[in-house]
Amino acid sequence: MAAKKSTKAKAGKAKAKKAAPKKAALKKTAAKKTAVKKASAKKTSAREPAIYKGLAGVTVDTTSVSKVMPETNSLTYRGYAVQDLAANCRFEEVAYLMWHGELPTRAQLRAFEADERSRRGISRAHVNVISQYPKKAHPMDTLRTSVSYLGTTETAWGGEPAEKDLGRAMDMLAKIPTMIATDYRFRKGLRRITPRKDLTMSENFFHMCFGKVPPKEVIKAFDISLILYAEHSFNASTFTARVITSSRSDIYSAVTGGIGSLKGPLHGGANEAVMHNLLEIKTPARAEKWLRDKQAAGELVMGFGHRVYKQGDSRVPTMRAALEDLAAWKGDTNWLEISDVLQNIMIGEKGIHPNLDFPAGPAYYLMGFEIDMYTPIFVMSRITGWAAHIIEQNASNSLIRPLSAYNGKKQRKVKPITKR
């Protein structure tokens, strides 16, 4: 028995000896496969595209319309700092600048204003459309529809001569205030007030909304707000308008899309959200607790922060000064004082500065506008920037069609409904 065991053990050892090289080879092969897999995974990983959510940091095209100059932290329109434009120009001059690249002479401005004033009226059919809107509809929804209706009055396409789109842009610049005011009056159950040709754009808008023109302090502040809101490079609504334009669609479609984008509270609607917050706070004494509660809940405080500005929004000091003038004129510093409490904490503790919407919200409130009118007023101004970008896109067009990284299910076979 012992001899048999010894023979078996010797045979087992010999077998193991023979198998050892095979095992080593197998291990080597497995190690190679693992290395190849890892290398392949690395290559695949390297090939996977970088995702830039919200296109943050992505440069998609060139523009000569506006830029935030990093060396001065100033927003510029066609090379002019907005604070300088607000101090020295009326809104009509800035509209001319947007579309023609240079500030107008007196003669050019007179011709521009005469053209705009002659286009302010809207047709009876258009008035009838506005009268049918639900009274509870948001003014941005009714304005979006009104601009879209304007597009039905002619057949327009992208890529047409710039002169044609400049004429359409002028039509919208002149008629959008009339559309907004007409809808406002109808929602109030009031008779509409027709536009006047002897008033500036700002004066005429107050006239159509309220039946009177306010003091010069109010008109000046309103004009400043229109200048500051006129343009801001490739923001969400402008990019929307350029994407639509890139498909060779018409300017009315592009502006309608821009209005839809601007409505959102992360974009144009932020000025409405700011005023809702101030009304919720009510008094300066309640401001700090309100802000601490918001921060504790991890909620966004509207009116603060901006993706583009690193040292604070360059438009804010100009609008803040206009707000101070309005508060002095009105004899009401409540909203200014609440704003100060919020601003001091946000800057002092978080290093987050207010954006233009923060002073604009209470400014429009002091002027007498209802909160849901704020973003339509923004449209009155931004039509100038949108039109400039639409014309620029048409002049050097390429269809905007980015890629996406698919993360859904792998390709699979369809089962007939009887087998699902």
pLDDT band with cut points at 50, 70 and 90 for residue 406:
very high
How far apart are the C-alpha atoms of 101 and 65, rounded to whole Å? Answer: 8
* pLDDT tens sequence across 329-340: 999 999 999 999
> Per-residue confidence at 152, pLDDT binned at 50, 70, 90?
very high
> Which pLDDT does position 20 carry in this prediction?
53
pLDDT of residue 155: 85
Kindly name the residue from 207, 306, 353, 389 that is annotated as catalytic.
306
> What per-residue string of b and e applies to 114-137 under the rule 16 or more CB within 10 Å gives b?
eebbebbebeeebbebbeebeeee
Which residues are bridge partners to 304 per DSSP? Answer: 354
Lowest mean pLDDT, pick from 22-36, 154-168, 334-348: 22-36
Q: At what angle do helices 162-187 and 374-395 cross, to 10 degrees?
A: 170
Q: With beta carbons less than 8 A apart as the criterion, state whether 194 and 121 touch.
A: yes
- Among 35-39, 333-337, 350-354, the least confident range: 35-39
What is the rounded distance in angstroms from the CA atom of residue 177 to the CA atom of residue 204?
9
Q: Over 50: is that where the pLDDT of 99 sits?
A: yes
Give yes or no: 306 in active site. Answer: yes
pTM for the full predicted model: 0.86
pLDDT the model gives residue 73: 81
Residue 259 one-letter amino acid: I
The confidence band for 34, taking pLDDT boundaries of 50, 70 and 90, is low
Q: Rounded CA gap, 294 and 298, in Å?
A: 6
What is the C-alpha to C-alpha distance for residues 241 and 51, in angstroms, rounded to an integer?
Answer: 23
Instruction: Show the domains of the chain with their CATH numbers.
Output: 79-395 (1.10.580.10)
What pLDDT shows up at residue 80? 97
Question: Is 267 an active-site residue?
Answer: yes
Phi, psi dihedrals of residue 410, rounded to the nearest 5°: -70, 165
Tens digits of per-residue pLDDT, 358-397? 999 999 999 999 999 999 999 999 999 999 999 999 999 9
For the chain, how far is it from start to end, CA to CA, in angstroms?
A: 66
Per annotation, catalytic residue among 171, 232, 357, 389: 357
Q: Is the pLDDT confidence value at 17 over 60?
A: no
Residue 42 in this model has a pLDDT that exceeds 90: no
User: Identity (one letter) of the amino acid at 132?
Assistant: Q
Please tell me whether residue 272 adopts helix, strand or coil conformation.
Answer: helix
Q: Cβ distance 39 to 46 under 8 Å?
A: no
User: Residue 142 has which token pair?
Assistant: 């009714």
Q: Which tens digits make up the pLDDT trace of 175-231?
A: 999 999 999 999 999 999 999 999 999 999 999 999 999 999 999 999 999 999 999
Cα angle 104, 109, 110 (rounded to 5 degrees) comes to 155
Q: Is 77 helix (H, G, I), strand (E, B) or coil?
A: strand
DSSP H helical ranges for 48-105: 82-88, 91-100
Strands 80-81 and 66-69: unpaired
Give helix 139-150 / helix 162-187 axis angle, nearest 10°. 140
Q: Is 196 helix (H, G, I), strand (E, B) or coil?
A: coil
- pLDDT above 50 (res 251): yes
Identify the band that residue 2 occupies on the pLDDT scale cut at 50, 70 and 90. very low
Judge contact between 379 and 267, C-beta under 8 A: no
| Cβ atoms within 10 Å, residue 90 | 20
Q: How far is CA 414 from the centre of its chain?
A: 41
| 126 is annotated as an active-site residue | no
pLDDT for 41 equals 46
- List, edge to edge, every strand of the sheet that includes 80-81: 66-69, 74-77, 80-81
Residue pointed to by tokens 């100033």: 74
The residue-averaged pLDDT of 85-92 equals: 97
Give residue-wise pLDDT tens across range 285-329.
999 999 999 999 989 888 888 777 767 888 999 999 999 999 999
Q: What percent of the chain has pLDDT over 90?
A: 76
Q: What are phi and psi of 314, to 5 degrees?
A: -65, -15
pLDDT, tens digit, for every residue of 127-149?
999 999 999 999 999 999 999 99
Q: What band does 270 get if pLDDT is binned at 50, 70 and 90? A: confident
Selected catalytic residue, list 267, 276, 325, 332: 267
